[in-house]
Amino acid sequence: MHFDIQKGLVILINKPLEWTSFDAVNKMRYAIIKYLRHHNPELFEGRKYRPKVGHAGTLDPLATGLLIVCAGKETKNIESYMGMEKEYTGSFFLGATRPSYDNETEIDAIFETSHITENDILTIAKKFTGELEQMPPMYSAIKKDGKKSYEAARAGEEIKHDLRKIFIKEFEITKIEMPLVYFRIVCSKGTYIRSIAFDFGKALNSGAYLNSLCRTRIGEFKIEDATDVEDFVNSMQIF
């Protein structure tokens, strides 16, 4: 791969499970620095040069899928990528909740599910479309009084967020294998799928948490066109 620091670069990455978005960006930045040191050594003469590399929208460590990484001058366009429509696939686990709304934390409550029918699930999904108000999870990167929400939550502090308006364009139930419900969601920027899982369980008079999640699309960018972090690093190697 040829990298022109003047034009910048947009890289579509398939983020691995348990990696943070920062992990992916950091490894890619290191590979880009090695590449530039070889091909553009003048950039490093007499100064500590650090190329700009950033991602357009965080994915949780327990989520996989499309991460847009921008480098060089393309980092100026990160906000425009972040504002694009998102598509996700994944599964909810019905009958239990976790404080983080996903598998990061232990189960804190068990709920009955014998009353839930397939028709109930399909009907409730239809109610989760259009403009909605959503409460972000306590375990999130949102800052409150200068402190990240998940840091406060892990320290046992209770953080109260404000409701946020989101837009769910599509909510499709793709398969039901109780206690797992598989879905595809198309939504606006700032939507927490973990919160949808929690609210979905409540709407069924039960409980639910996010069991798996993959971001499959951002705007017109698709997961099918993404590369693995290791493959990108290898493409930047100097032979």
- Residues carrying an active site annotation: 60
Beta bridge partners of 166: 132
Tokens of 149: 């929400």
Q: How far apart are CA 15 and CA 214, in angstroms?
A: 9
Which amino acid, residue 44? F
Place of tokens 């980092």: 75
Burial 108-138 (b: 16+ CB within 10 A, else e): eeebebeebeeeebeebbeebbeebebebbb
